[in-house]
Structure 1
């Protein structure tokens, strides 16, 4: 196994001072499945935290109560953790205490899955007490020891099992999967932030469809995303759709690149369809206003999971505009679209719209329409015509100064009016012409 020089330095320092030490967990797993340069290297040792601190010049006590010290080598931090066993898990999230031990096997026995309970050093080679290598070969996610115990210790492990299954395209072993189903309600004891992080990793995995179907099969979906659960099996009764809402959503997510905000928007783009469903006199289903209602539901969900404000804003824009495919795009209508969505986000919108079309029937016509808008958008942006209030040759301060107007909503309305005029005719974007427009419209 390839080990970076900085990690070798940590291992050799521990070994030369009479301690055992191994790289452990995900880095060993990833190397065994062919990822030659894993992202993170975690180290486990029988040295106690205080002893680790004494051996290295620069350390951070990032998790000293749990036995974890971050050792800084060349400005990069590496987590070094003392062998330990966990106490009682009273809240299905964290142990009430940890006990340091001298046995590597005891330490590995507390880990979640066999494929993560692997250790390696250059002296002993690969250490595999629980059949992790065989499970890697068989593409199997299996809990270490008794799966019910593992999930009752930390309920987030149920989501981790599904995340690894989707990322690696593995299957969850029968007893492990059964235990997830039996313990699914324990996920309610886990914070939304921790759940969010796992869901986001699933959404950018190699097989998001597998992840979301496993969430639904194990009844976790109804607890963490009940709004999505409502779409499962929902017949759209519409000639443009050959899938139920859930299956359509899965297709749209998979058709998007693995960028988290686009994929979250894809997951939520039809979130309001069940609430907006109507059937006309011909028996055809419609979802009028589901894009606008979807924005309201999306914000509720995103704030529940404590997404940052910029992500919430961007995702809401994508959900709101996903149906807005311009059939006959003109320069003015495309400029207004760019203004509403933003130059930085408008191409993500086109990506989502194309993914949405690909997940539906008769997608060729719609994709052609989207591509025409996209081409016109590129031309408009490259022409460097003004597209936002910030690009106007006057601002609110100038209007207040020139016309002795008090600051307030009226200033914003004036600037929006000017922008519409400039979107229609970029030649209006001079200070003199803009002030004249305001004078004629509001002052005279």
Structure 2
């Protein structure tokens, strides 16, 4: 059963009362039929954009040339789009022209997949000219009409098909899948920002490995993430690993909780292993320095995909520190590690370590890591200083000693923090000023 929210119903009824057919359409109908709560409600109508603007009190012409008007009701926004068809696609993404039409079926015929090409209103019921409901019941992702045409219109749809497979746990219909393989090179015409958004949704699905294996099988992976493709079939020659680097990485990703920074870190934590490989005299493989190499490569990849700096910095820290072993570490060493990784990342680091261990061969011992986790919890629970902001001295105090504002203040504060991590009793203003004066 589809339950349309009150404000969406109000918009549809107001359009209908003004003489214009209108429906809720697309993903909101799909999600409702799957008993999921839709994130957005899109509305399609026979009314032209200017007619929509005349009917409602507050509107924003967000996509006037494409027929989209945003209707604002009590500070809540809803997109209302005129029935339309599209001209030839000149760049596998944008149509050369948009033509407004009077038929709902014409409008639905331009959409990507049958499960997204359904419309509904309380007065007119479900409109499903391409059997999307049947495909929904059969857990099938199928293009509307000819798959080659749909993907040549908008190459991003190939990634969307794989993403929907992961999110919904559906199967891609054979003809649609064959067409993705055939047209995979068109993905080069899509912006990195749009590729990034689809990859993130795949990463946050229940089993991301399904998506990345499908990206590999359709040859899209070598375009969007060639560094991961190079890990495929790379034998680790190590008794602790029973999988190649590619499948080990994907297993780590699957074992991680649904957290984007954590799963990005898992995806990239061993990305430089092929470049760091060496074989000892016993025929055992080693990857010395792969954590540092992978952190550098992670930064390069995330910048290419236009991630924000905060995400890049956090992922770099986790990738660089993922191989750190603290089983026999002194308490002061663990404190320094928490300070280096950051309180906001320490839980993610533990989850990454657990996932990495699970994805090794089944001979790994978890006892050491569980002990480390307990020690970290105890240190954090003790409320002892772990970062510069926990020190009982500030940059202003250092300036009062005659130091000019600049990098030197940070250097002094970090040295004072090292002292306090070794001996928390030194965290008093008088003692810290005394040590700062000695440094100067």
TM range (shorter): over 0.9
Q: Which residue of 1 aligns with 2:21?
A: 20
- Following superposition, the deviation at residue 257 of structure 1 comes to 1.0
Aligned mates of 2:8, 2:405 — CA distance in 1: 60
Aligned to 1:88: 88
- The question of whether the paired residues in 2 share the 8 Å contact of 1:325 and 1:369 is answered with no
Provide the residue aligned with 2:426 in structure 1: 428
Counting only pairs closer than 5 Å after superposition, residues 54-73 of structure 1 correspond to structure 2 as 54-73=54-73
Q: Distance in 2 between matches of 1:418 and 1:151?
A: 59
Deviation at 1:186, TM superposition (A): 0.5
Matched, 1:155 2:141: no
Stretches of 4+ moved more than 6 A in 1? none
Cα distance in 2 for partners of 1:123, 1:57 equals 24
2:378 counterpart of 1:390: no
What is the alpha-carbon distance in structure 1 between the residues aligned to residue 156 and residue 406 of structure 2? Answer: 49
Pick closer, same or farther for the CA change 1:19–1:246 going to 2, 3 Å: same
The alpha-carbon deviation at position 107 of structure 1 amounts to 0.2
How far apart are residue 437 of structure 1 and its match? 2.1
For 1:290-301, what aligned pairs fall within 5 Å after superposition? Answer: 290-301=290-301
1:438 is aligned to 436
Distance 1:292 1:407 in 2: 32
1:157-176: CA deviations, max 9, x gaps?
A: 00000001111111111111
Return the offset for 1:362. 4.2
Query: 2:239 corresponds to which residue?
Result: 239
For residue 316 of structure 1, report the CA deviation from its aligned partner: 0.6
Decide whether the 8 Å contact of 2:240 with 2:364 is kept in 1. no
Instruction: Please show how residues 298-377 of structure 1 align to structure 2 within 5 Å.
Output: 298-362=298-362, 364-365=364-365, 367-377=366-376
- For structure 2, the residue ranges without an aligned partner over 5 or more in a row are none
Identify the residue that residue 250 of structure 1 maps to in structure 2.
250
**Cα drift, residue 427 of structure 1:** 0.6
Moved more, 376-385 or 144-153: 376-385
Equivalent position SS for 1:160: helix
Q: Could you tell me whether the CA contact under 8 Å between 1:88 and 1:96 is conserved in 2?
A: yes
Counterparts in 2 of 1:410 and 1:122: CA distance versus 1, 3 Å: closer
Distance 1:69 1:347 in 2: 44
Shift in Å, 1:364: 4.7
- RMSD, matched Cα: 1.3
- State the distance in 1 between where 2:68 and 2:387 align: 50
SS in 1 for 2:35: coil
- 1:107 maps to 107
Q: Which moved more, 1:392-401 or 1:147-156?
A: 392-401
Q: Give the conservation status (yes or no) of the 8 Å contact 2:327–2:371.
A: no
Residue aligning to 1:417: 415
Report if the CA contact (8 A) 2:59-2:70 is conserved.
yes
Counterpart residue number, 1:117 = 117
Contact 2:181 2:218 in 1 (8 A): yes
Residues 220-254 of structure 1: CA deviation (Å, up to 9, x unaligned):
00000000000111111110011111111111111
Deviation at 1:188, TM superposition (A): 0.4
Report the counterpart of residue 52 of structure 1 in structure 2.
52
In the TM superposition, residue 374 of structure 1 has moved relative to its aligned partner by 1.8
Contact 1:393 1:431 in 2 (8 A): yes
Q: Deviations over 1:295-317 (max 9, x none)?
A: 11001000001101101111111
**Aligned partners of 2:230, 2:329: CA distance in 1, in Å?**
35
Q: Distance in 1 between matches of 2:406 and 2:43?
A: 59
CA distance in 1, matches of 2:9, 2:407: 63
Instruction: Indicate the SS of the match to 1:345.
Output: helix
TM-score, length basis structure 1: 0.96
- 1:208 to partner: Cα distance: 0.9
**Partners in 1 of 2:123 and 2:405 — Cα distance?**
74
1:42/1:79 contact within 8 Å kept: yes
Give the superposition deviation at 1:410: 3.9
Offset of 1:38 from its aligned partner? 1.6
CA drift at 1:368: 2.3
Residues of 1 paired with 2:325 and 2:31: CA distance? 42
Alignment of 1:209-228 (within 5 A): 209-228=209-228
Tell me the CA shift for residue 325 of structure 1.
Answer: 2.6
* TM score, norm. by length of structure 2: 0.97
What SS does the corresponding residue of 2:344 show, helix, strand or coil? coil
Which shows bigger deviation, 15-24 or 380-389? 380-389
Classify the secondary structure of the residue corresponding to 2:343. coil
